[in-house]
Structure 1
Amino acid sequence: MKKQNHDKLKNDFKELYKKFILASIVIAIVGIGLLYFIFDFSLSIFNSNEPETEIVEIPVEIPVEDDFDKIENGIHIKTGFIEAPGMMETIQNCTNCHSSKLVIQNRMNAERWKSTIKWMQETQNLWDLGANETVIIKYLVTNYPPKKVGRRAVLKDIEWYRLEE
Structure 2
Amino acid sequence: MKNQNHNKLKRDFQELYRKIILACAVIGIGAIILVYLIIDPSFSTFKTDAPQTELVTIPEEDDYDKIENGIHVRTGFIDAPGMMVTVQNCTNCHSAKLVMQNRMNEERWKSTIKWMQETQNLWDLGENEAVIINYLVTNYPPKKLGRRAVLTDIEWYQFEE
**Which bracket does the TM-score occupy, shorter chain normalised?**
0.5 to 0.7
Which of 124, 129, 152 is residue 133 of structure 1 equivalent to?
A: 129
Aligned residue in 2 for 1:89: 85
Q: Name the structure 1 match of 2:118.
A: 122
The correspondence of residues 8-157 of structure 1 with structure 2, limited to 5 A, is 64-150=60-146
Shift of 1:63: 7.1
CA–CA separation in structure 2 for the residues paired with 1:111 and 1:125: 20
Look up the equivalent residue of 2:123 and give its one-letter code. W
Separation (CA, whole Å) in 1 of partners of 2:120 and 2:104: 19
Change (3 A) 1:66 1:108: same
> How many Å apart are 1:66 and its aligned residue?
2.8
> 1:3-37 CA distances to partner (integer Å, 9 max, x unpaired)?
xxxxxxxxxxxxxxxxxxxxxxxxxxxxxxxxxxx
Q: 1:110 to 1:63 in 2, by over 3 A?
A: closer
Query: Match for 1:72: what amino acid?
Result: E
What amino acid is the match of 1:145?
Answer: P
User: Secondary structure at 1:88's aligned position in 2?
Assistant: helix
Task: Report the CA distance between 1:64 and its aligned residue.
Answer: 4.4
CA deviation after TM superposition for structure 1 residue 81, in Å: 0.3
Deviation at 1:151, TM superposition (A): 9.2
CA RMSD of aligned residues (A): 1.9
Structure 2 segments unaligned to the other structure (5+ residues)? 1-57, 149-161
Residue identity (%):
85
Q: What is the TM-score with the length of structure 2 in the denominator?
A: 0.53
For structure 1, the residue ranges without an aligned partner over 5 or more in a row are 1-61, 153-165
Return the TM-score normalized by structure 1: 0.52
- 1:87, distance to aligned residue in structure 2 (A): 0.2
Deviations 1:40-91 (A, max 9, x none): xxxxxxxxxxxxxxxxxxxxxx874431110011000000000000000000
Deviates more, 1:64-73 or 1:89-98: 64-73
* CA deviation after TM superposition for structure 1 residue 145, in Å: 0.3
Partner Cα distance (1:92, 1:63) in 2: 16
